[in-house]
Amino acid sequence: SQTIHQWPATLVQPVGSPLSLECTVEGTSNPNLYWYRQAAGRGLQLLFYSVGIGQISSEVPQNLSASRPQDRQFILSSKKLLLSDSGFYLCAAGLAITDTQYFGPGTRLTVL
Amino acid sequence: QKEVEQDPGPLSVPEGAIVSLNCTYSNSAFQYFMWYRQYSRKGPELLMYTYSSGNKEDGRFTAQVDKSSKYISLFIRDSQPSDSATYLCAMSENTGRRALTFGSGTRLQVQP
């Protein structure tokens, strides 16, 4: 079974500062990888997905970006954070042959 | 209109009750249907996965999909206080993108 690691678990950043969130996956090869954001009391919003190394698709135009430097590593970045970037960020991994996705523990980001 | 509608609750039931959670959707192309459980400040955990219409049972949990009505349900028998969480429905089309569309979640409280 696959395990998804995310760090940091919590982060408090000032407006205008950079951001780097990391996700790594164990137990599977060539997974589809996803970044979601969950606002308080709301559903999950898909931000980025990747079907392979260097292949990133953006779902929502914004000041965030994603990269996949290795098969099982997915990074979410920003050059300058906005207040509206606050939220719970979740990394997920899915198998190409099914549509199930497995989630990491999440990173809670507060932008002040 | 949202693609997936889910009553946010909260839904409060006594221990031992049968719980019914539901989602409706508008996209007839959805073929894969999932239920996730999310405890406070944690990542979602996959509970049930169903392809197309029909029922699926796993222990105390039963998932039902009625594609003709665009309606899915999750039943929890003999509910326990440990079942208190937010339940998210999710679904996807049969495409390589394999991205899930989530409901906003129903918060369930099981009273001891």
pLDDT digits (tens, 9 = 90+) for B73-95: 999 999 999 999 999 999 988 76
- The confidence band for A1, taking pLDDT boundaries of 50, 70 and 90, is confident
Residues in B touching A34 (Cβ below 8 Å): 99
Q: How open is the CA angle B37-B41-B43, to the nearest 5 degrees? A: 45
Interface check for A98 against chain B (CB to CB < 8 A): the answer is yes
Are the C-beta atoms of A22 and A73 separated by less than 8 Å? yes
How many other CB atoms are found less than 10 A from the CB of residue A7? 13
- The confidence band for A41, taking pLDDT boundaries of 50, 70 and 90, is low
> Poorest-confidence range of A52-61, A81-90, A93-102, B56-65?
A93-102
Residues in B touching A6 (Cβ below 8 Å): 43
Residues in A touching B8 (Cβ below 8 Å): 41
Query: Which of A25, A28, A99 to probe by mutation at the B interface, max B CB count within 10 Å?
Result: A99
How far apart CA B90 and CA B72 sit, in angstroms, is: 10
